[in-house]
Amino acid sequence: MEQLSLWLLFGAVIIIVAIASVRLAYRTGLPSLLLYLALGLIIGEAGFGLQFESAELAQQLGLAALALILAEGGLTTNWQHVRRAVPTALVLATLGVGVSIACVALAVHFILGLDWRLSILLGAVLASTDAAAVFSVLRRLPLPPRLAGILEAESGFNDAPTVIVVILFSTMEGGMPSLPTVVFDIVYELLVGAAAGLVIGPIGAYALRRVALPASGLYPVAVLALALGAYGAAAVMHGSGFLAVYLAALILGNSRLPHRPATRGFAEGLAWLAQIGLFVMLGLLVSPSELPVQFAPGLIAGLTLVLLARPLSVVLSVAVMRYGKERLAWQEQVFLSWAGLRGAVPIVLATIPWSNGVDSPKVIFNQVFIVVVVFTLLQGPTLPWVARKLGVAAPGEAREINVEAAPLEPLNADLLQIKVPAESRLHGVEIFELRLPSDAAITLVVRDGKSFVPTPTTRIHAGDELLLVTTAACRDESERRLRAVSRSGKLAGWFGERGG
C-alpha cells in the first residue's frame, strides 16, 4: 500500500511538472514534447537512476497513446476546414511517405553502409509527421485554412502507411519482401482500416443521437470508446487501426452529438495525459551514454529527411494534384516542407524493430531520437519566422470565430455558441447587418458576465458570446456568413469573402 502511494505521488508530481512546462514551451516557441523527453531523461538512468529498458512494453503503451492522440485529433478537427485539403493530404500521406522512405533508405544505405532492411526501416520510421508536434506549434501560428488543413489532415493520415511498412519489415522472416507484396499489404490494411472507421463512426453517431444516457459525463466516454473500438476492430481484421480510429473520431467529432464541447474537452485532457506519459516514457528508454556515437549518422539521416526527402515528397505530391483546385504556390510548398515536424511517432515506431529482435535495433532507436530532438529544436521555433518570410502567415485568421454546437433534436436544429475574438470585425456590427438566413436567429448575448436578449439593432462587441439557433439545413450557411463578417466586416460579400 505504501509503495502504491509513493508511485501515485511520483506520477502526480511528474504530471504537474509536465503541465507547468507547457507554459514554458509556449513562451519559448519549443514544442512541449522536447520538455517531456527531457523530463524522462532527468528521472532516467543518467539522472535519478530510474531504470526502464522494456522496448516491448514501450511499444504497446506507445501505440495505445498514439491511438488516443489520433482520436483527439479526429474529434477536434473541423471537417469544413480540412475538407478541401484532404486530397492533397492523402497524396502526401501515401506517395509522399513512399518518396521519403526511398530517399532516406538510399542515403543511409550508401553513406552509412546499413543493410537494405535497416535502411528501409529507418526511412519508414522517419517518414511520418507527428500530429502532437505539428499542433503544438501551429496552434499559436495563424495560417490560411488550406495550408493548416493540409498539415492537420496529413498528420492524421500518414501514421497508418508508415506503421504498416515498419511492422512488415520488422516481422518478416527470410529475405526481403517483394514490391507487390508490400503494396498489397499496405492497400489491404488501409482499406480495412478505412472501412472500420467509416462504418463504426456513422453507426456510433446515429446511436448516440437516439439513446438518452442517464448522465452527461457518459457521452464523452462513449464517443472515445467508439473511436478506440474502431482501432480494435480494424486491428483484429489485420487492418490499419490508426486510420480507423482517426476516421471514426473525425466522423463522430463532426456529427450533431449531445454535449460536444464536453466531449472535446474530455478528449483533449486524455490526449495531453497520453502525450505526457508517452514522451516521459520514451525519455526513460533512452541511454544517454549511447547517443554520442550515433550523433553523426543521425544527423546525416535527418539532413537527408529535411533537405531532400520532405521537399521532394511535397513537390511530387503537389505535382500530382496540379490539375486540382488546390494548387499550391512555391512559398506554400516550402513552408509545408519545413513544417513536417517529427515527434513521438518515429520514436514509438523505432521500438517495433527493437522489440522484434531486428539486428542492431538500438542503432535505429538512437538515431531516430537524435533526429527528433535536433530537428525539432531547429524547425519548431523557426516556423513562425519562416511563415512570415514566405508570406504564408495569415494574421487575419486571429479574427476566426470559435463555434460550438449542441443539438436540439426535436426541432432538427442546432444551438451554436459563438465566441467573438478581440480582433474580429464582428465588433460594431448590428444584428440585422449580419443578414443571417431566415431560419437562423441570435437569441442571446452574453457580455461582461451578463446576458440579454438582443434586438435587431444591438451592436456586437469583441468578447461577446452569442447563442444562435439555426435549423440543420441552414447551419453551414449561417456559420459561413458569421466567419465572413468576422474576417472582413459587414461588407464581406462585396469583397468576395464567403467564409469558407
pLDDT computed for residue 103 by the predictor: 94
Same domain, 418 and 352: no
Same domain, 368 and 472: no
In CATH, what number is assigned to the domain containing residue 408?
3.30.70.1450
Same domain, 305 and 201: yes
pLDDT computed for residue 495 by the predictor: 62
Last residue of a domain, one of 357, 390, 423: 390
pLDDT computed for residue 29 by the predictor: 58
Last residue of a domain, one of 358, 390, 422: 390
Closest CA to 368 of 110, 187, 127, 174: 127
**Domain residues for 252?**
2-390
Q: Would you state the cell numbers that stand for residue 261, as one nine-digit string?
A: 464541447
pLDDT computed for residue 55 by the predictor: 78
Q: Are 345 and 322 in contact (CB under 8 A)?
A: no
pLDDT computed for residue 252 by the predictor: 92
500 found inside a domain: no
Ranges of the chain with pLDDT below 50 = 323
pLDDT computed for residue 406 by the predictor: 60
Same domain, 168 and 220: yes
Same domain, 439 and 421: yes
pLDDT computed for residue 397 by the predictor: 52
pLDDT computed for residue 401 by the predictor: 63
Give residue 282's identity as a one-letter amino acid code. Answer: L
